[in-house]
Amino acid sequence: MIRELLAVIDFGGQYSQLIVRRTRELGVYSELISWRDADRWLASHKPSAIILSGGPLSCLEPGAPTINFDLIQQIPMLGICYGQQLMALKLGGKIEQAHSKEYGFRKIETVDSDITGSLVSDLSSNEVWMSHGDQVMEAPPEFRITASTDSCPIAAFENTSQHLFGVQFHPEVSHTPAGTEILKRFLFEEAGLKGDWSSSGFIEEQIELIRAKVGDKKVLCAVSGGVDSSVLAALLIQAIGDQTVCVFVDTGLLRHNEASQIVQTFRHSFGANLLAIDASNQFLSALKGVTDPETKRKIIGKEFVTVFEEHADEIAECDFLAQGTLYPDVIESGSSTAAKIKTHHNVGGLPDSMKLTVLEPLKWLFKDEVRNVGRQLGLSSEIVDREPFPGPGLAVRIIGEVTKERVEMVQLADWIFRSELKSRNLNHGIWQSYAALLDVKSVGVMGDGRTYQHPIVLRAVQSEDAMTARAVPIEFQHLEAIANRIVNEVPGVNRVFYDLTSKPPATIELE
């Protein structure tokens, strides 16, 4: 079982999730706790250390985000940006609106050349990333100032006897080259953590928890062939063997030849107890005439319920429902720390008559962590390194109405795009690549004749955890060749675009 826990208190900062990722990469298990829930959470948990995140607001404003500092006494703590300012304010320091707001790269200088052993002394780089309007003007009593910039007099302070530290800059971002050194010093030297978080440790813990919770009952595991559900199924099979009942529903919204590949993988590679259901006509019929993306997602979720109701007799012996929900899904679906971006599809809202208890063993993992768990479980690279695919499938890659004809257009264009990337050795380092269909038409010329057909949008992005992403810079000659294949081989398409937008402001998927 995990013995160390780092609590990252989220004040709404754009880099809050990065703090969790960076600390987990260092072997420390961490969880992101909204400041709204922090007092209640801290009353029942005893974290080994705490990091206070940045945030967009001023702690000088009425009603500004805060927590009860009485609950975190004698716990090692690092405040970052807003977190540092809040520490200073709560512990007797002084905060003011900065005369010169800092955003971007700055160079910190140690305040006293005799200072050694601090978080910021003798770093490999003194370049840091700043993003703030307020700043600390007076450190709290018994704190020493350890670093400043040309416009920020207190870029870092600390009270080593109480293991309290604050930095105005962001050590969690890659723009702060020595940020990892700072986090390591805080976690291991000052907080005294061991770093006992690992994929293998997670597997052992979850197997123990699953066995304890499930007992001799059966678990229904909805599988899609994607990384998440595949790792989930492998974890369940290792934990409870044939008590795992895998169910694959072919919605008709999968990629080219994907349904048959999924069935073959789970039955032959996994040796799984698999129930495969072809409900493609049912889903397409339910989506007829629907254009709103959120309505599509809800309809797809509802149809999954209907499918499960229709096959209730075959899965009646199951008491649990396992889902491959991940941490980014939780955040984007509207957790307490983030606005709702879009509803993430999972098999939910099952009928009361089925009375299934939900299991989500992967709920607090990022995608790269899930891949590591899959490798530890012995899954092939073909499965583990598979590009993410949305739960609603091609329905969210078809702008407008979803029809069989439009699905086939996207399937073929998508297959051509990804096949060309692979054959040209361009697929390495790509997080996600796909083709999407727009709900417009444009004039073209083919064979000396006028066409009025659809455009295809190609998208390929680089990412670590799907929280942020940037377009892959594919050379024009490759894009041109791919576009030529698509307009020549996909009926109804006469134009191809390449999406260059990063996330944010866009999302990875179009809908």
Does residue 59 have an active-site annotation? Answer: no
**Catalytic-labelled residue, pool 59, 81, 152, 246:** 81
Which class for 9: exposed (0-12), middle (13-18), buried (19 or more C-beta within 10 A)?
A: buried
- Write b or e for each residue in 446-456: b if 16 or more Cβ atoms lie within 10 A of its Cβ, otherwise e: eeeeebebbbb
Antiparallel, parallel or unpaired: β 156-159 and 144-148: antiparallel
Does residue 221 have an active-site annotation? Answer: no
Please say whether the beta carbons of 229 and 265 come within 8 A: no
Three-state SS for 149?
A: coil
Q: What is the DSSP string of 440-481?
A: --EEEEETTEEEEEEEEEEEEEE-SSSSSBEE----HHHHHH
Q: Which residue has the tokens 């083709």?
A: 435
Say how far apart CA 314 and CA 303 lie, in whole Å: 17
Q: 222 phi and psi, to 5 degrees?
A: -75, 125
Does residue 170 have an active-site annotation? Answer: yes
CA nearest neighbour of 132 among 64, 48, 204, 58: 58
- Write b or e for each residue in 247-268: b if 16 or more Cβ atoms lie within 10 A of its Cβ, otherwise e: bbbbbbbbbbebbeebbebbee
- Looking at the DSSP assignment, which residues form a beta bridge with residue 7? 31, 50
Q: 37 phi and psi, to 5 degrees?
A: -100, -5
Under 8 Å CB-to-CB from 309, ≥6 apart: which residues? Answer: 351, 353, 354
Please say whether the beta carbons of 464 and 432 come within 8 A: no
**Catalytic-labelled residue, pool 132, 163, 170, 454:** 170
Residue 79: Cβ within 10 Å count: 27
Which class for 404: exposed (0-12), middle (13-18), buried (19 or more C-beta within 10 A)?
A: exposed
Q: Which residue has the tokens 């961490």?
A: 30
| Rounded alpha-carbon distances, angstroms, from residue 300 to 177, 178, 346, 493 | 45, 46, 9, 26
| Rounded alpha-carbon distances, angstroms, from residue 223 to 94, 234, 244, 324, 417 | 54, 11, 11, 8, 25
Say how far apart CA 287 and CA 212 lie, in whole Å: 40
- Looking at the DSSP assignment, which residues form a beta bridge with residue 223? 248
Say how far apart CA 285 and CA 287 lie, in whole Å: 5
Residue 207: Cβ within 10 Å count: 16
| Rounded alpha-carbon distances, angstroms, from residue 13 to 101, 138, 164, 170, 404 | 17, 23, 20, 11, 43
**Catalytic-labelled residue, pool 172, 190, 258, 509:** 172
Please list the active-site residues: 81, 170, 172
